[in-house]
Structure 1
Amino acid sequence: MARSSLLHDSLGVPDPLRRARIPKDLGSVTTIGEEADPRPVGMSVDNVESIWKAVEHLYRSGIHPAIALCVRRDGEVVLDRAIGHASGNGPADAKDAAKVLATPDTPFCIFSASKGTTATLIHLLDERGLLHIGDPVAEYLPEFARNGKAGITIGHVLAHRSGIPNAPKEALSLETINDWELQREYMYDAKPMSRAGKRQAYHAVSGGSLLGEVVREITGKSIRDVLAAEILDPLGFRWMNYGVAPEDVPLVGQNYPTGPPPMPPLSTFLTRALGVHPDEATRMSNDPRFLTGVLPAANGVSTANELGRFYEMLRQGGQLDGVRVMEERTIRRARIEQSHLEVDLSLGLPIAFSYGYMLGGKVLSLYGPNTTQAFGHLGWINIMGWADPERRLSVGLITTGKSVLYPELVRFWEVGNRIGKEAKPLG
């Protein structure tokens, strides 16, 4: 057990380093779902256990009260496990607080991993002829042209190159996040920071909200309803939509600010990108108003299994279990690179984007080594969903501790690296 956790236990006060209590016996907080024999799909039991050891190593840091991972290989679930607690073991929770074990069936907020879902739906609507990603947003929302935004296209928004990366703090108020008419006014009044298409600057919240209103304008329905009707319901998903029904709120695992509190200038940088302080954004995600709202860039809710299953549909070219929801060529077009390791002005990191997905690479990649064909999306700090066609992999990785920088951060990256190494390319 980490020294800080021992101090926490002995004094009965919140851990100053903001870490969860980690039991000596990790098996006591581990649950395993249905897993197939990995050998018929080119992996061994040792390969799978090596991946899980990387997850356990990350969990021992105490940064993540819960971690869930699901790995599919050639369509077979070879790993589907959760470790830790969905609630009751956060850094500020009392030692004797009621604890709820996380399981593979526990849904969590996936934050910006929702962007991959939203991008997929936009490409599907393009395929259907309801919109075109090359069109200016103002063709669908004429008032958006205010303040010199007439030339911003849907494609610019998908590729984080619209020039309006930041939403005002008012747009993130829990009192008004579902007031779509007011939210539109915030979008209309936004002033570009740069010319559309010129520079990449990650749209933490603004882009998803804008795309959601384009969908509402062309369909007359909430993007939540369109996503369900066009993709989720035909494929039998239980989760993966924006927010949840009120009766499902108690089922959603909690998120926790963990690790060293972010300090200026990092906290200032992140607050500008998110619209609120990082710790506030994390706490907001547990609020029923947030969990029942519709934020297409930020409040998707899913299990790790369903997050990976969504990318399995994309890996299989738009179909799953014999049901086709989109054309393979649509997905190929959606994956075309729009920026190659350009340093993002919002994130300060070199990230390659397509029209809506974060892309893998030869050396620098979110998805492990030599993952040039991989695509997916990161969610608030330590969540990822992705597909790797070369390895015939689809993965959902969800964590609940939200720490921007902490000594064991390399352990998170090691999980993706281990998956890439243990699952050799199949072509």
Structure 2
Amino acid sequence: MTGLTSMAEDRLAELETLVRRDTESGRYWGAAIKIARHGETVLDLSIGHADEARTQPLRTDSVFSVFSITKAFINVLTLRSIELGRLQLTTKMSDIIPEFSGAPRDQATIFHFLTHTTGMPGVWEPTPGWFMEELQDGVDGVIKHIHGAVEPGTRCDYAPMANHALLAEVLRRTDPKGRDIQDILVEDLWEPLGMVDTYLGIRPHMRERHVVPDMRDTIPITSPSRSVPGDYGLYEAERNGVTWAGGASTTGDLQRFMEMLRRGGTLDGARILSPQTVKLATRVWTGDLPNELYKTVALRNGYAVPPAAIGLGFNVRGDGIFVTQLGNLTSPATFGNYGAGTGLIWVDPETDITFIGLSAGLLSQAENIARYQQISDIVAGAAN
């Protein structure tokens, strides 16, 4: 089956109706959604607006600040570096960054960083109001202020910033060309994949289409910039080094990224990863451990605590029925990443579906999970 014949059109229409109803009611301001089946786009949708005042209609090529989806780019480049022999999953972070010292955190390996099992608590910012606009700012903050609480591997604490500041610094320090992290991302990932609207910051050609994020009190920190005023100036700056949350992209670019993963690491002749690495990275490595961040969300909202189900940097659907952004009708092998209150990307290898969703007007963690669980189940249920 190809094209729309591979998906039930009436079910996709239900998805559009749901998003339109949500945006018209003010649940969020707008959304852009792109879905592919067997590599062919079956839905390319934009509904609503970029802002509460409804002055900027969303477009299918609108540029969103994607927050933690940024981590997925660092994850993939870390795996690529392992394939190139620059480091191993068993390499200790302290072997590459000696300043990252002190027990027990100095025993944490690249594997622990990718699986969020370093033993460090999930900290949003090292100190209140800390400038983290450049990679070095984040690295310095983690080294100085975020210490190990338990032995690596014994607890899964999703790291909002620490892990991917240090993983990016690993990429920088082990790069044979001595490039900065922005150039590594562009030259080794985004350019090969034809991702022309993706960057750490808002390049001039992206600015007119940029959806300035409306935090709506959903993020527990500010994100100031040295070049743009305001509490969240970071997300409007032309350039940043925030490798854990500073990325901007479109549904089209993110579809290319996820299609590369769906195809086993290669897209249009550009090989980023091997099929074996993709397979290894998209299986669950956290066992029965809960994700402490979402354990809190579950307990606060009165539903069962789900397993963390984290691979080598990817969230995995896994077995069982529980509250999850990845839905319950998707296959256990479904994997992807999310961005705080706004975005979700996933691939279901069994049904061969690629899903990209980005929205304007951030939702709380619980509300965002509920929203995307509903959407993901509609998408999975639309497969013929």
Gaps of 5+ in 1: 1-35, 263-269
Find the counterpart in structure 2 of residue 132 from structure 1. Answer: 88
Partner SS state of residue 143, structure 1: coil
- Mapping for residues 150-299 of structure 1, pairs under 5 Å: 150-164=106-120, 165-170=122-127, 173-174=130-131, 176-178=132-134, 180=136, 182-189=137-144, 190-219=146-175, 220-245=178-203, 248-258=206-216, 271=220, 276=221, 284-285=231-232, 287=234, 292-299=239-246
For residue 201 of structure 1, report the CA deviation from its aligned partner.
Answer: 0.5
In structure 1, the partner of 2:314 is 357
Q: Would the alpha carbon gap of residues 171 and 300 (structure 1) be closer, same or farther in structure 2, given more than 3 Å must change? A: farther
* 1:387 Cα deviation from its structure 2 partner: 0.8
Judge conservation of contact 1:65–1:400 (CA < 8 Å) in 2: yes
Contact 2:68/2:340 (<8 A) preserved: yes
Q: Which moved more, 1:382-391 or 1:188-197?
A: 188-197
Match of 2:351 in 1: 391
1 CA distance for matches of 2:275 and 2:365?
38
Displacement after TM superposition at 1:232 (Å): 1.4
User: CA 1:294–1:51 in 2, change beyond 3 Å: closer, same or farther?
Assistant: same
How far did 1:121 drift? Answer: 1.1
TM-score (normalised: structure 2): 0.85
1:74 correspondence with 2:38: yes
* SS of aligned partner of 1:144: coil
The answer on 1:421 being equivalent to 2:376 is no
Q: Please say which of residues 100-109 and 302-311 is displaced more in the overlay.
A: 302-311
| 1:287 positional shift | 4.1
Report what 1:54 is aligned to. Answer: 18
Contact 1:255 1:286 in 2 (8 A): no
The two structures, once aligned, show a CA RMSD in angstroms of: 2.7
Per-residue CA deviations over 1:374-421 (Å, capped at 9, x if unaligned) read 100111024101111111111110012123168797444211110011
Residue 60 of structure 2 aligns to a residue whose secondary structure is coil
Q: 2:256 aligns with which of 295, 309, 319?
A: 309
Aligned-partner residue type, residue 140 of structure 2: E
Give the counterpart letter for 1:347 in structure 2: Y
CA deviations over 1:135-174 (Å, ceiling 9, x no partner): 0001111111235422011111111111223254448634
3-state SS in 1 of match to 2:134: coil
| Partner in structure 1 of residue 48 of structure 2 | 84
Q: Partners in 1 of 2:21 and 2:236 — Cα distance?
A: 34
In the TM superposition, residue 77 of structure 1 has moved relative to its aligned partner by 0.6
Q: Distance in 1 between matches of 2:282 and 2:79?
A: 10
The Cα shift of 1:193 comes to 1.9
Alignment of 1:141-152 (within 5 A): 141-146=97-102, 148-152=104-108
Following superposition, the deviation at residue 254 of structure 1 comes to 1.7
- Residue 354 of structure 1 aligns with an amino acid whose one-letter code is G
Give the distance between the partners of 1:115 and 1:406, measured in 2 at CA: 21
Q: What pairs up with 1:105-116 in 2 under 5 angstroms?
A: 105-116=61-72
For structure 2, which runs of at least 5 residues remain unmatched after alignment? 224-229, 299-305
Contact 2:235 2:246 in 1 (8 A): no
Name the aligned partner's letter for residue 184 of structure 1.
Answer: V
Number of corresponding residues: 362
How far apart, CA to CA, are the structure 1 residues paired with 2:10 and 2:258? 25
3-state DSSP of counterpart to 2:139: helix
* AA of the residue aligned to 2:211: G
Report Cα offsets for 1:53-76 as digits up to 9, x if no partner. 232233233122120100011010
- Cα deviation digits, residues 89-111 of structure 1 (max 9, x gap): 32xx5x8xxx1211011110111
> Alpha carbons of 1:151 and 1:81: their partners in 2 closer, same or farther (altered >3 Å)?
same
Among 253, 260, 266, the residue aligned to 1:319: 266
Higher alpha-carbon Rg: 1
For 1:328 and 1:210, the matched residues in 2 are separated by 26
